[in-house]
Amino acid sequence: MVKIRMRRMGARNHPFYRVVVSDSRQTPTAAALEEIGFYDPRKDPAVVNIDRERYDHWVGQGAQVSDSVRTLVAKG
């Protein structure tokens, strides 16, 4: 099954997240099928950049969306 979820990047105490499409059987840090955006919570206000066209494409293909990504898309 394919999932759209966040991958944590950045240094300790300085999180940065990439929104990726990946196989749910792999670990979140394994190779992703596609990176469709990012989320930077340390900026004021937080920066969310998600490619809605690719997001809609993957959801149309049956990808499951994590709760945290669903929340970011709803705000965005």
Average pLDDT estimate for 7-28: 92
CB 7: neighbour CB atoms within 10 A? 17
Q: What confidence category does residue 64 fall into, taking pLDDT thresholds of 50, 70 and 90? A: very high
pLDDT of residue 15: 95
pLDDT at 13: 94
- Structural domain boundaries in the chain: 2-64
Q: 25-51 pLDDT, tens per residue? A: 987 778 899 999 999 999 999 999 999
- For the entire predicted model, the pTM comes to 0.90
Helices (DSSP H) in 1-76: which residue ranges? 52-60, 67-75
- The dihedrals phi and psi of 29, each to the nearest 5 degrees, come to -95, 5
Tell me the CATH number for domain 2-64.
3.30.1320.10
Q: Is the pLDDT score of 53 beyond 90?
A: yes
